[in-house]
Chains A and B, each alone.
Chain A
Amino acid sequence: MSYHNPYTPPRKSATFDDYTLAEIRRAAATGIYDIRGAGTKRKVPHFDDLLFLGASISRYPLEGYREKCDTTVVLGSRFAKKPITLKTPITIAGMSFGALSGNAKEALGRGATLAGTSTTTGDGGMTNEERGHSQTLVYQYLPSRYGMNPRDLRRADAIEVVVGQGAKPGGGGMLLGQKISDRVAHMRNLPKGIDQRSACRHPDWTGPDDLEIKIMELREITDWEKPIYVKVGGARPYYDTALAVKAGADVVVLDGMQGGTAATQDVFIENVGMPTLACIRPAVQALQDLGMHRKVQLIISGGIRSGADVAKALALGADAVAIGTAALVAIGDNDPKWEEEYQKLGTTAGAYDDWHEGKDPAGITTQDPELANRLDPIAAGRRLANYLKVMTLEAQTIARACGKNHLHNLEPEDLCALTMEAAAMAQIPLAGTNWYPGKGGF
């Protein structure tokens, strides 16, 4: 009797999948690690893994078209003489002129202003266009101190001391030579065309005790007028939040690993830091333990995409959120209308992340004047404002369904979790139970 061996399809390794194999070949061919923009692309537990419960017999909903649901937020009320008031708790995260084109920065300022919120500078200093188009502008105080000067500190509405960011907690920045145009080089006091490195640590302070003195100096320079934020990446949120409060911060900005970057090593983006969802409760716990919840405001960023994400972050205890990647998409980043050009760059709309190369077809992450001119800052600003308003309306819709007349009245009890991981990270009961991992009584 003859035996016929049936066909078995080729089996690829789950460990050495196509992407991994391609990355090994790329590293071997080029001798450099992969650098890219944006945040983590791996799937991590996120706000999608939480649901709102809505009202029931024990909770009365508010009428969507009649009853008010307030969205205003005051930031910096702890020490600053001039705290800022925003109409929506959705702010624009720090992104630099240099990483972004002047038109993109202008669009962010215009959009934020139309929506009644703040935008934020980035590494490289403050441009006049950005200041002029941003009603409320937060000025980042970064380790590099590129373009840092007391005049800009004083004309800012708030100061954000950047200790870290979610895409790369513990890492510095880089702006590769191809984006160092004459203007960028001048603002950063560097030769044109060189790779510009931003330090990972501040040059003149180390540790929380020094930070307290540094914050005091910044307050003295600005006559105690400006709210001072401290931004940290999602690494040790309980202790970082507590130490920022101890150091005298008015506001803590906490950025999870889905938060974007202009350019960093892919290995860093994908392997360092914690998901945003896992950062919020420890930070809120730290504020509560210190009796500072709602006195020191907490801004959460990293992967915020919709009003539902906003509402969930606030329900977990945040006072506001910040968006970066989503804001860039709103003004035109990765738009399929540029698909032909994305293809020429070896990518596709929705996956383009070589923001450091300065070849962005959408004219956003570039210093090439021809590309930058493709972005109309007025129209792009309008799109951003629309998006911010939609997100705010979505968050209000959910809050009303939970019976809340202010977004800040959302609470953990309004939520349930879909997965064990999300339940554990957010300390929210698994749907249909009153239990989450780590809580006794199972």
Chain B
Amino acid sequence: MPVFDLSVTPLRELNSALHGLPAGTNDLAFEVVNPRGHHAVAAGIDAAVTVDIKGSVGYYCAGMNDGGNVTVHGSAGPGVAENMMSGTVVIEGDASQYAGATGQGGLLVIKGNAASRCGISMKGIDIVVHGNIGHMSAFMGQSGHLVVLGDAGDALGDSLYEAKLFVRGSVKSLGSDCIEKEMRPEHLAKLSELLEKAGVRGVKPEEFKRYGSARKLYNFNIDNADAY
């Protein structure tokens, strides 16, 4: 297993190795030690590699991940798994702002809490947060699922499009055009699947409430101007 010690090895060597796998290689498991808050660790993965990062990372860890399975054995700075296309990113600790921002696919699991703007502008990614999330999460979320086992902060789902939000705890406030919606069987089934994938045990989908777009802001109407 290739091991990269970022206290002595430049980040460029790690990312270069991840992007330049020899054809047909079976050596697809990487370990990163001493990440020391480096930014853009394992950014731009485009193959089915496994990366275990032993410590906390800075901004944009696993940014634009496309097919990799990345685990951060620590906490993550802003923009973890931003614009992820596919694959899985797991944060054992907490995640800072913009976790999963604009993600288009894949699964992001945050086992601690996520700060503000979790899932901002999400475009298909699935995000499961074991703890709480901060304000303005899923702002302008287009598609995908945001599952929160704890509480959500202010203005959840502001200006939401078609992303589906599931919150088990309290919601401090809903953003413009975001409303609580009926939990139908297909939603319960999807929630079960996501909880299973995220390694959540002993929690039932029925314990969640679903939130989505009221779709009143989809086309401009002057009488809705006070919603902005």
Contact = CB atoms under 8 A, between A and B. Distances in A.
Contacts of A32: 220, 222
Interface string A206-242: 0000100110110011111000000000000000000
Contact of A222 (B11, B44, B117, B142): B44
Contacts of B15: 220-221, 223
A432 interface: no
Contact of A213 (B39, B97, B120): B39
Interface stretch (B25-33, B76-84, B195-203): B76-84
Contacts of B11: 220
B59 A150 contact: no
B116 to A, nearest CB: 11
A148 B63 CA distance: 12
B39 A221 contact: no
B120 A203 contact: yes
A189 B44 contact: no
8 contacts: A149-B83, A199-B140, A203-B102, A204-B102, A205-B78, A220-B44, A221-B15, A224-B12
Contact of B12 (A150, A213, A220): A220
B40 A213 contact: yes
Interface in B1-28: 11-12, 15-16, 19
B162 interface: yes
A252 B59 CA distance: 24
A145 B123 contact: yes
Contacts of B124: 189
B117 to A, nearest CB: 7
A224 B82 CA distance: 19
Contact of A220 (B43, B123, B139): B43
A195 B216 CA distance: 11
A31 interface: yes
A145 B102 contact: yes
A269 B217 CA distance: 23
Contacts of B39: 213, 216-217
A217 B43 contact: yes
A119 interface: no
Contacts of B208: none
Given A177-B219, A190-B142, A213-B39, A203 B101 contact: yes
B110 interface: no
Given A150-B46, A189-B104, A203-B121, A217 B218 contact: no
A194 B101 contact: no
B102 A214 contact: no
A194 B219 CA distance: 6
Interface residues of B, number: 43
A30 B220 CA distance: 12
A31 B143 contact: no
Interface in A278-296: none
Contacts of B167: none
B98 interface: yes
A-side interface size class: 20 to 34
Interface in A129-171: 144-145, 148-151, 153
A203 B218 contact: no
B44 A150 contact: yes
A221 B98 contact: no
Interface in A87-123: none
Given A145-B121, A177-B219, A216-B40, A204 B82 contact: yes
B57 to A, nearest CB: 12
Given A149-B85, A216-B40, A220-B40, A144 B222 contact: no
Contacts of B58: 213
A217 B63 contact: yes
Interface of A: 30-32, 144-145, 148-151, 153, 176-177, 188-191, 193-195, 197, 199, 203-205, 210, 213-214, 216-217, 220-224
A31 B15 CA distance: 53
B161 interface: yes
Contact of A223 (B19, B59, B223): B19
Contacts of A188: 142
B40 to A, nearest CB: 4
Given A199-B140, A203-B102, A220-B43, 20 more contacts: A32-B222, A144-B121, A145-B121, A148-B104, A176-B220, A189-B123, A189-B143, A191-B218, A195-B219, A197-B140, A203-B121, A205-B78, A213-B58, A214-B59, A216-B39, A217-B43, A220-B12, A221-B40, A221-B64, A223-B19
B172 to A, nearest CB: 21
Nearest to B102: A145
A149 to B, nearest CB: 6
A223 B19 CA distance: 8
Contacts of A213: 39-40, 58-60
Contacts of B139: 203
B120 A194 contact: no
A214 B162 contact: no
B44 A194 contact: no
Contacts of A199: 121, 140
Find the residue from B59, B66, B104, B222 having the highest chain A CB count within 10 A.
B59
A189 B220 CA distance: 19
Contacts of B223: 31
Contacts of A150: 44, 46, 64, 66, 83, 85
A221 B39 CA distance: 12
Contacts of B43: 217, 220-221
Contacts of B97: 204
B52 to A, nearest CB: 19
B143 to A, nearest CB: 6
- In the complex, which of the residues A188, A205, A221, A223 has the most CB atoms of chain B within 10 Å of its own CB atom? A221
**Smallest CB-CB A-B distances: 3 pairs:** A221-B44, A31-B222, A204-B98
Interface in B33-84: 39-40, 43-44, 46, 58-60, 63-64, 66, 78-79, 82-83
Contacts of A189: 104, 123-124, 142-143
